[in-house]
Structure 1
Amino acid sequence: MKTTAFARLALATVSSVALLTGCTTTGPMGAENPDVPAAAEAAAAETPAVPAAQYGSFGFDEAGMDRGVAPGDNFYEFANGTWVKNTAIPADKSNFGMFSVLDDLSRQRTKEILDEAKDDTSSKIGNAYSSFLDEAAVEAKGLAPIQPWLTEIEGLKSKADYPALAAKAAKMGVGTQFAGYVGQDDKDPNTYIMSFYQSGIGMPDRDYYLSTDAEMVKTRTAYLAHLTNMFTLAKMSDAAARAKALLAFETQIAKAQWSRVDSRDATKTYNKMTVAALDKATPGFDFSQMIAVSGATGVDTVLVAQPSAFTGIAKAIQAAPLSVLKDALIVRSLDGYADYLPKAFVDENFAFYGTTLSGTPELEPRWKRAVSFTTGALSDDVSKIYVAKYFPPETKAAADQLVKNILAAMGRRIDGLEWMSDSAKLAAHAKLASFTPKIGYPDKWRDLSGLKIERDDLLGNAMRSNAFDYAYNINKLGKPIYRWEWGMTPMTINAYANFGMVEIVFPAAILQPPFFDPNADPAVNYGGIGAVIGHELSHHFDDQGAKYDKTGKLTDWWTPQDVANFKGLTEKLAAQYDQYEPLPGMHVNGHLTMGENIADLAGLTVAYDAYKASLNGQAAPVLDGFTGDQRFYLGWAQVWRRNYREANLRQRLVTDPHSPSEQRVDTVRNLDPWYSAYNPTTTSRLYLPPQQRVRIW
């Protein structure tokens, strides 16, 4: 997926589920106070109780703080240190934080919905859920359900027929060397176009194949063993030799691939070309054939994200034996569908992708995976029930108002910029006025009635679901843009900015404590969900989002001097993040994480302005010894608390466009009001002289 064109996932992705204990506080206990006169006690008893904030007395978990740490030395530890020390990562998770807490809640609620439906044979969601829960049936069938597809792969006779088979694999959700989707044309955002981007490797990034780092070498060795084991489980001969040949083939692909830094550049990755020109650029791989078999009609022009990589990958395909191409499809199919196959395949897939790559000791319980499968296959059918039960209108209304306040604050920030020209400010205001905020859930639901679900056919359900979604996407060609469409379910603990749609999207499930609590202190809400809203909004003005105008078109709407001024500031931010070393010898990549770091800095800046405006000139009260400004920054720090397993953090530093949680919190060191709130000394670790603080928006 080309995130600049479709949806930039702007918050850390949730990976797993289990209940959090020991991190919340309930506020002051309701014990009798002997100093209160009896009459006053009686009056108080007759007064309706004000709903309490979920966390602490004002919406923040004070018990999770470490007050022995100076906020100027480590603000993350000051706000979260006790929680960090006392909170274990559950065995079925690679990391654990506030996103995990809400994901636990979301999946538990969804489970209750599905449990009510699972015995109803007339319920599609119940049948899908039951098909996953019935592990005995899956074991009894063995590889029989997927065997026809494996046989078809093994029956491939020539490389000339490979593009057609690759297209069929794509319909089934099986990865090949070239991935594609139908999305908006960045330079014609009212039109859908077929887009392609590099793919074809089984590990998370090209660095896993090419780096000489000792941990990367160990991971390669484990991956080779994983490939061998998958071939062995499938009862294929010469498993070790086949695995070695496949790893060598993927290494050639990795050598051709672009880096993640280059691949996030909206300008570099916009390459429109005719299909004939693409065929010429990829000798030996017939894209015309692949597109024809894909189900797309009338396609003569496509977008190609990494043209030179496509040429290199095509050469690797041309040089590879036909047997290796078939083996690549077989392994991608077994890994891609492992969760719907017998336990031996589930366990082998998890051993590498869960334990080796992310450090997770235990596989999730089957019910959690069943919930994920059902909400993936029948997302809107489940979502309709979820929002009716768990997203009250008053929460949506409150969130709508917060968004309006953040938008207004962004407008004021634009007016005050010294580095931006007047012409660009006018265009920026026009873009701001064209925003579409989406809160909670879609205005329109997808019709899933055409998807066939059978109660005793888990693998078939998964295959049909993938094919159904593929057809839905490919059928967008030639149609008006689906402006009502969402890229996440309401149950997702996340948010995103969509450049082509000029929209910001906040699913229902993230609009809960600690991000947002209607009963919490406004300072905490603005520091939490307010900064998240500002984060998503400012993505449209980050180093890539700023390339899109008020219509969502990729175009130059800044003056050259604006661009130069902006780049000077963003390069300072990249240099700041390059210095962070979350693991010995592994630094944050300031250019890979550039967009997210800009959005964190800008989002917090804009949210602070909105918070101050909400006070209407009045001073914020002091609560439990904290000023309003102090509580605002605590609200920011708490939502990012997270403990990582080392393997997971290592992978994130290579692949994740987000900085780790502690470094996200550290962006406060660029904000002048944080210095006024916490008074760090010039010798404090986080202290930056005013001239070194990065101020962008």
Structure 2
Amino acid sequence: MKRSLICAAVLTLAASYAGVTFAETPAAAITAPVAAAPLSTGIDMRNADLTVRPQDDFYSYVNGTWMKNTEIPADKSSWGAFYELRENSLTQLHTIVDTVSQGKNIKPGSNEQKIADMYASYMNEPALEELGIKPLAAEFAKVDALKDKKQISGLIAYLNRVGVTAPYDLGIHTDAKDSSKIIADLGQSGLGLPDRDYYLKADDAKLKDTLDKYLAHIEKMLTLAGDKAAHKNAASIVALETELAKVQWTKVENRDPVKTYNKVELAQLHTLAPNIEWDGYLSGTELKDKISYLVVSQPSYIKGFDKVLQKTPLSVWKAYFKWHVLSSFAAELSKPYVDENFAFYGVVLRGVPENEPRWKRGVKMVEGSIGEGLGKLYVEQFFPPENKARMEKLVGNLITAYDQSIAGLDWMSPATKKQAQKKLSTLMLKIGYPDKWRDYSSLTIKRDDLVGNVMRANNFEFKRNIDKLGKPVDRTEWGMTPQTVNAYYNPEFNEIVFPAAILQPPFFNAKADDAVNYGGIGGVIGHEISHGFDDQGSQYDEVGNLRDWWTKEDHEKFAVKTKALVAQYNAYSPVPGYKVNGELTLGENIADNSGLAIAYKAYHLSLGGKPAPVIDGLTGDQRLYLGWGQVWRGKVRDAQAIVYVKTDPHSPPRFRGNGTLENQPGFYSAFDVKPGDKMYLPPEQRVIMW
């Protein structure tokens, strides 16, 4: 299932619209008083830095003291509002797991038994130390059993099932051109580093250094595993991954849902890649009798892989597959493997000095394996029903604001407006948790088999998805667990999904002023709704089919606006020498700008024509923008920031906060931003889409 996670949007607002009057901001309120504790509104001004003018750097004004006084925890690559909530959620989950683990008379086969035994298998370090590399012996034997390259496709099918990185993998989701069907989607994979640029940008000193250290890491890991030719094999593996990187599509290319939709009949797969033994792959994945075609996301990559497959010796492929088996399960082995795995993927790649405490990693293991089983217990204890009711009311105002905004657009034709409003009216909302919970009865979890548990959990999820083929689409399904601090829009279902765990301060505060909630969770909800109308989501219609429902003129006018947004974000740099990729982050930047604009309108709708109250010396509009600013407080280690620039469709926190505000007319009036102020953009340069 393809979806977009929190962090961007593309709707903007006019300074006013029919039926709403925006309050003027008194100049004195621009330097609103700072409380010694969180204000009654839900704004924590202890984080603010009043030596910074909000008109020059709003992000630092709201978060500056927090930025100066906060150290990223030693076991984290990033820290901020999202991560604080995630830590809170993890602690709550730990309490649940401990309680379940201490329970008596646990029924065999129940979710509680699986949760307790998965956690126990992870926490039993003495047993893992005794086992060493033995848990992977059977997997290494499968690789050694390869007699010729025709058998590689069957091995890849197996590795796809158990969660091992391989040159291509499978996605099961709604058919983008017929949302009543489920399809299988073949996509590129196979690299041990986050992006092709790490292999191909030889002129980038930091990326080259990372690649050199990756080579050394592979050699160390293979040596630990008893490979006497570790030095030679490591060099061959990096050379092979470099060849794969050369034929892979970029992250920007992969954002195009039309370009990545390539239907290939099973009978024609051999013409695409004649050296792949397709029957072996289709049989191994159980696809052979379930489908008549595959959607191949990157056809030129599969063709390129076919050539790499042909020219690479079988011995090199064996070394490559053994490496990825070892790397994929290194964190579940004995301490030498865990430590070396973290030394590269944690310290080198992400700049994290310390690994997380084992209990955190153990809880995450349970969560990744039996997520909804754990989520059901989480919701029962930590999600008040009244939160869901208040959210539904807030969402109603946001949708009304979108509807009014569409009606008033000057760049969208009447015919397209009608279709946009139809899509908005059919938007599905999921809040908190699913109506029906996942059935884990076929998943076997053993108290003394950690690696086996992980493989079985991965295969359970793989099989669960494969079994959807040929059956009616289940639109009640969730793609995130309730304890996930995130949200998403799924264009193939035309739905927005907000798990319970994100409905907490600073995003949503049941005790806070409405303005702050509209600036926080309202902006985030607006962000997700806007994905249905951004450069990607707008290509899907109201039932989730990939269909162009815009006129040519609409596309042209929209392109002018998005081009300006790309240029704006291309200028931002989180680390010297590395700039935000405005094309990669376009959809999310659209969503941030749109979501906040609509949240602003929705807040004023919620006032019912009455003026917003002044609370704690702050106007309603100021509180709304302060709510937005505090949501994005965050710090990122430089190494992780580079990974994000190369791979993440979201802009860094500072630019999500400030970059969005520079395009909001309401912000200019709320804080009296004028020419000469650093946050000022001339009206003609502001990207206003909604």
TM-score tier by shorter-chain length is: over 0.9
Cα distance, 1:623 vs structure 2: 1.9
AA matched with 2:615: L
- From the superposition, tell whether residues 82 and 28 of structure 1 become closer, same or farther in structure 2 (CA, over 3 Å): closer
In structure 2, the partner of 1:34 is: none
AA matched with 2:251: R
Q: Does 1:77 align with 2:69?
A: no
CA contact (8 A) 1:73 1:686 kept: yes
Q: Does 1:616 align with 2:608?
A: yes
Alignment of 1:284-363 (within 5 A): 284-296=275-287, 297-363=289-355
AA matched with 1:72: Q
Cα distance, 1:421 vs structure 2: 0.4
Unpaired segments ≥5 residues, structure 1: 13-26, 30-53
In structure 2, the partner of 1:548 is: 540
Task: State the Cα deviation string for residues 237-289 of structure 1 (Å, max 9, x = none).
Answer: 11111000110111011000111100111111111111232321113112332
SS of 1:339's equivalent in the other structure is helix
Give distance in 1, aligned partners of 2:619 and 2:655: 24
CA contact (8 A) 2:272 2:303 kept: yes
Q: Does 1:277 align with 2:256?
A: no
In structure 2, the partner of 1:502 is: 494
CA contact (8 A) 1:172 1:463 kept: yes
In structure 1, the partner of 2:199 is: 209
Cα distance, 1:8 vs structure 2: 1.4
Give distance in 2, aligned partners of 1:202 and 1:134: 28
Cα distance, 1:464 vs structure 2: 0.8
Task: State the Cα deviation string for residues 499-532 of structure 1 (Å, max 9, x = none).
Answer: 0001000000000000001111111100000000
CA contact (8 A) 1:110 1:386 kept: yes
In structure 2, the partner of 1:187 is: 177
Give distance in 2, aligned partners of 1:222 and 1:200: 18
Give distance in 2, aligned partners of 1:454 and 1:261: 42
In structure 1, the partner of 2:27 is: none
Bigger shift: residues 582-591 or 603-612 = 582-591
CA contact (8 A) 2:52 2:61 kept: yes
In structure 2, the partner of 1:18 is: none
SS of 2:135's equivalent in the other structure is coil
SS of 1:491's equivalent in the other structure is coil
SS of 2:186's equivalent in the other structure is strand
Q: Does 1:136 align with 2:136?
A: no
SS of 1:682's equivalent in the other structure is coil
One of 683, 690, 693 as aligned partner of 2:686 = 693
Aligned residues: 655
CA contact (8 A) 1:106 1:509 kept: yes
SS of 1:175's equivalent in the other structure is coil
One of 368, 375, 390 as aligned partner of 1:383 = 375
Alignment of 1:462-481 (within 5 A): 462-481=454-473
Q: Does 1:590 align with 2:573?
A: no
CA contact (8 A) 2:81 2:506 kept: yes
One of 125, 147, 150 as aligned partner of 2:115 = 125
SS of 1:429's equivalent in the other structure is helix
SS of 2:180's equivalent in the other structure is strand
Task: State the Cα deviation string for residues 91-133 of structure 1 (Å, max 9, x = none).
Answer: 0000100011110110100000010111346422111111111
One of 140, 143, 146 as aligned partner of 1:150 = 140
Task: State the Cα deviation string for residues 651-686 of structure 1 (Å, max 9, x = none).
Answer: 111111000001001211111110001112311222
Give distance in 2, aligned partners of 1:542 and 1:278: 33
CA contact (8 A) 1:8 1:498 kept: yes
One of 439, 448, 451 as aligned partner of 1:447 = 439
Give distance in 1, aligned partners of 2:189 and 2:35: 54
Cα distance, 1:334 vs structure 2: 1.2
In structure 2, the partner of 1:103 is: 86
Unpaired segments ≥5 residues, structure 2: 9-33, 108-112
In structure 1, the partner of 2:529 is: 537
Q: Does 1:7 align with 2:9?
A: no
In structure 2, the partner of 1:669 is: 662
SS of 1:540's equivalent in the other structure is helix
In structure 1, the partner of 2:675 is: 682
- From the superposition, tell whether residues 139 and 158 of structure 1 become closer, same or farther in structure 2 (CA, over 3 Å): same
4+ residue segments displaced more than 3 Å: 119-122
Cα distance, 1:348 vs structure 2: 1.2
Q: Does 1:114 align with 2:97?
A: yes
Give distance in 2, aligned partners of 1:131 and 1:204: 29
CA contact (8 A) 2:55 2:671 kept: yes
In structure 2, the partner of 1:42 is: none
In structure 2, the partner of 1:66 is: 49
CA contact (8 A) 2:35 2:45 kept: no
SS of 1:260's equivalent in the other structure is coil
SS of 2:187's equivalent in the other structure is strand
AA matched with 2:99: E
CA contact (8 A) 1:283 1:315 kept: no
CA contact (8 A) 2:35 2:46 kept: no
SS of 1:530's equivalent in the other structure is helix
Alignment of 1:209-228 (within 5 A): 209-211=199-201, 212-228=203-219
AA matched with 2:342: F
Give distance in 2, aligned partners of 1:175 and 1:285: 17
AA matched with 2:97: L
Task: State the Cα deviation string for residues 138-191 of structure 1 (Å, max 9, x = none).
Answer: 111112222111111112111011101111111111121011121111001110
AA matched with 1:125: I
SS of 2:420's equivalent in the other structure is helix
Q: Does 1:235 align with 2:235?
A: no
Identity fraction in percent: 47
Give distance in 1, aligned partners of 2:137 and 2:400: 58
Q: Does 1:251 align with 2:218?
A: no
One of 81, 90, 97 as aligned partner of 2:73 = 90
In structure 1, the partner of 2:592 is: 600
CA contact (8 A) 1:279 1:288 kept: no
Give distance in 1, aligned partners of 2:278 and 2:573: 43
One of 423, 430, 448 as aligned partner of 1:431 = 423
CA contact (8 A) 1:64 1:81 kept: yes
Give the structure, 1 or 2, with the largest relative contact order (CA under 8 Å, sep 6 or more).
Answer: 2
CA contact (8 A) 1:272 1:302 kept: yes
Cα distance, 1:331 vs structure 2: 1.4
Cα distance, 1:88 vs structure 2: 0.6
Cα distance, 1:28 vs structure 2: 6.8
AA matched with 1:441: Y
SS of 2:252's equivalent in the other structure is helix
AA matched with 2:91: Q
Give distance in 2, aligned partners of 1:479 and 1:534: 33
Bigger shift: residues 333-342 or 106-115 = 333-342
Task: State the Cα deviation string for residues 216-245 of structure 1 (Å, max 9, x = none).
Answer: 110010100111111111101111110001
Cα distance, 1:55 vs structure 2: 3.9
CA contact (8 A) 1:191 1:478 kept: yes
SS of 2:134's equivalent in the other structure is coil
SS of 1:258's equivalent in the other structure is coil
AA matched with 1:491: Q
Give distance in 2, aligned partners of 1:311 and 1:109: 48
CA contact (8 A) 1:55 1:514 kept: no
In structure 2, the partner of 1:632 is: 624
Give distance in 2, aligned partners of 1:389 and 1:562: 48
Alignment of 1:25-44 (within 5 A): none
